[in-house]
Structure 1
């Protein structure tokens, strides 16, 4: 068990109240992994004030120098990759392979933005008149409030912190209380890499105290949130009340269409990776397989075989699929299994909690799912796949788009025309052809549509820097 502190103005400090909370291993729920400050509004206010005081120094630091600090942090994280992956497994529950991949993602993000920091400045355009220079100038937006979820506890903090700092914007981050340890590790690496005091501040505690305070504080200029749609909408209302810039990424109900022009075995593997990887605890997880009637029965058999071949277990002991993060998340998944039964869907496999220590559940497949049912409409956030039969492409598209969400969507097909039509027709911010709905590249934009996103700013790539900068247009005659 490790005790950690808040980082405020370069100092590692406890909450003013002295209160703490513990995190627990989802595979061994009685085992305490870490102890953290249970901060309140006063702690969050001090963090915002520190970030505001650091804006001039960090914002005026040349981009290449900012980039070198991010690159050094990337190297430090790389040196600690094994340690961080183990911490991630023990706090969040991923398998060791999944955790290692996520940590590598954070390492790569800091390396990427370390390089991109050199390019931040502006563009020169041709002026209409003679003896005139027309250009833009990018400047830091000021102070950013970052609110991150538990399901990707190192990658998502990295892809918010790194572009903010690359842009010269200072930040206060509130990581999820279920798995805050990796955010502290990022802060430690940046501190060791030479980040000035106050440029990044980390405050742990409940959203009602810390999250609300940083989202509403007068000194905060931008708010970036990833989490549930309900909480995200509340953050949006709070942040925009006084004109803050807001970026929200929220839930998903992601489809994979399986065409009769697909190889069914390949389609089942792709759907399985998307549905059961990271225990289904991803906003981009495949929740619906929408299958053409000519290959429906064959696909159901193939996806059941895939699910039955997955052995849930402790991520540090070689399990194929880790536990759900808490008892509440497990119970929520089991509730949806019961809803599916009640609605008349056919439970093909899974649906039971494992009779062992930890929050483990079997990979679950339902067939004969009504596209208008709760099972097919509501985000579950567990390893549950609904298989829906359709007559062909037009009906498949109607079903795929017939939900409130629009984050990630895929099609498996060997028909090039069908694939290109899907790219044009689907209402989703991330579109996959012959790939799982999970997993995205770090150097291109990420974000959703409809209830999955605020549809304001995208994350990652150059779009990530756009959110944390504001542009001036300069007309210079000589």
Structure 2
């Protein structure tokens, strides 16, 4: 329970921390539900309106700064975030459960993203185009959208909001950010980094609250010009529909059901390690996590045996413990979802070879722990082969040959990431050409995103836009064509 020593966090609006009108709610540690990490806002529509008004008021002066001036502030924010890596990494682990090395690594990635986009302030934003009139000068430039609403999830509470906010800011937009309530203490510490870097009041605002009030409020707000969202398909479609109804620009990054293909000539040890790392790190709570393991017949039994041996060695526990490999699910609802899919897999005829149990012994009884589940005998039509679980569950699917493996890999509504392990160039070329996914990786796990490269999915995994890298400018700005005649 909360006491007088429990830290309380407010909304960050117009350069100041403010008390929400509807009081507070708790952010708890998923490794120990008895521990309250902090009291966080339960914001109202009025809190959101104040944040949007601040962002709208600040946008004109912010966009008039030189790109290098905006970049200098991003560089400062990066330095401050880097100096607080240990504090923010530990907070992240306590709030959502991923291991401390992963949390610190994610924070370091946030630093790198800030520095990358800080440099974008000195890059070109247009081209000179020949005019048909010999006396005229014609060129393109880019204008910011205005105020951008950022809706970010709990699974990457540093990297995802920063890879959305950094390009929004460098290109001259102001931001209203709704972080996931589960990781709002971490979010408050990020907002403080921007504040301490000297960002002008109103340029970055943070409002914490429910998705139905603050998230939907962002999507529907007439003074928010663009919305960038990462989360579930159901919520993403609601956000997109609300934005479309009023003509706002929107960007949705949603689910994945990502396959790894293991060809007969694959390096067995590397393929097993990539399957475990890609599917089970962060407790499988990544949109790019490996979920379907499609193994060609000739290597299937050997792969399965080695996979089970290695998974049995993984230590499940508190992410702050040095020997923990796999932390808890981020919250009770997510744990229940994972357990329900494990039961559904059994009910639909798949064979549970390992794990899939809730751990309730000793200190683990207060946490949301599920042992990694390995299923055999999975067919493509089963729920565990079609629906995103977002947990430590691997579904083994046998393919007769590489052609069937690619066909099975594409047999889903999602198309976010995919990988293949093979030493055959023909397999590589067929996979790269035929795989319907926005990110395809050869001899590497599915869960790997380079910050300088475009990221996004096909089919139901996204709204067909791309995040990160220089591709981000396409969403956060509009092209303006300029024709000048003396």
Q: TM-score, normalised by structure 2?
A: 0.96
- Provide the rounded CA distance (Å) in 1 between the counterparts of 2:188 and 2:411: 40
- Provide the rounded CA distance (Å) in 2 between the counterparts of 1:160 and 1:181: 19
- Provide the rounded CA distance (Å) in 2 between the counterparts of 1:127 and 1:324: 59
- Provide the rounded CA distance (Å) in 1 between the counterparts of 2:129 and 2:105: 41
Q: Which moved more, 1:121-130 or 1:465-474?
A: 121-130
- Provide the rounded CA distance (Å) in 2 between the counterparts of 1:151 and 1:462: 24
| CA deviation after TM superposition for structure 1 residue 432, in Å | 0.8
- Corresponding residue of 1:428: 437
2:208 to 189, 195, 204: 204
Q: Which deviations, in whole Å up to 9, do the C-alpha atoms of 1:376-403 show, x marking residues without a partner? A: 1111111000000011122111111111
- Provide the rounded CA distance (Å) in 2 between the counterparts of 1:127 and 1:409: 44
- Corresponding residue of 1:194: 198
Find out whether 1:21 has 2:44 as its counterpart: no
- Provide the rounded CA distance (Å) in 2 between the counterparts of 1:42 and 1:306: 52
- Provide the rounded CA distance (Å) in 2 between the counterparts of 1:305 and 1:117: 50
Find out whether 1:178 has 2:187 as its counterpart: no
Structure 2: segments with no counterpart, 5+ residues: 1-5
1:268 to 272, 285, 289: 272
Find out whether 1:165 has 2:169 as its counterpart: yes
Find out whether 1:258 has 2:267 as its counterpart: no
2:333 to 313, 328, 332: 328
Alignment of 1:294-443 (within 5 A): 294-318=298-322, 319-355=324-360, 356-357=364-365, 358-443=367-452
Find out whether 1:450 has 2:459 as its counterpart: yes
| CA deviation after TM superposition for structure 1 residue 174, in Å | 0.4
- Provide the rounded CA distance (Å) in 1 between the counterparts of 2:123 and 2:175: 21
Structure 1 segments, 4+ long, off by >4 Å, are none
Find out whether 1:238 has 2:242 as its counterpart: yes
- Corresponding residue of 1:464: 472
Are 1:406 and 1:451, in contact at CA under 8 Å, matched by a contact in 2? yes
Q: Which moved more, 1:300-309 or 1:231-240?
A: 300-309
Find out whether 1:227 has 2:227 as its counterpart: no
Are 2:27 and 2:185, in contact at CA under 8 Å, matched by a contact in 1? no
1:149 to 115, 134, 153: 153
- Provide the rounded CA distance (Å) in 2 between the counterparts of 1:306 and 1:360: 19
SS in 2 for 1:2: coil
- Provide the rounded CA distance (Å) in 2 between the counterparts of 1:378 and 1:78: 37
| CA deviation after TM superposition for structure 1 residue 181, in Å | 2.1
Q: Which deviations, in whole Å up to 9, do the C-alpha atoms of 1:38-96 show, x marking residues without a partner? A: 00111111111111111101111110000000000000000000000000000010001
Are 2:37 and 2:185, in contact at CA under 8 Å, matched by a contact in 1? no
Are 1:120 and 1:167, in contact at CA under 8 Å, matched by a contact in 2? no
Structure 1: segments with no counterpart, 5+ residues: none
When the two structures are aligned, how many residues end up with a matched partner? 476
Find out whether 1:92 has 2:96 as its counterpart: yes
| CA deviation after TM superposition for structure 1 residue 463, in Å | 1.4
- Provide the rounded CA distance (Å) in 1 between the counterparts of 2:436 and 2:384: 20
Q: Which deviations, in whole Å up to 9, do the C-alpha atoms of 1:309-331 show, x marking residues without a partner? A: 11111111121111001122112
SS in 2 for 1:153: coil
Alignment of 1:95-174 (within 5 A): 95-174=99-178
Are 1:371 and 1:388, in contact at CA under 8 Å, matched by a contact in 2? yes
- Provide the rounded CA distance (Å) in 2 between the counterparts of 1:474 and 1:193: 35
- Corresponding residue of 1:475: 483
- Provide the rounded CA distance (Å) in 2 between the counterparts of 1:72 and 1:350: 46
1:249 to 253, 273, 287: 253
Q: TM-score, normalised by structure 1?
A: 0.98
Are 2:11 and 2:207, in contact at CA under 8 Å, matched by a contact in 1? yes
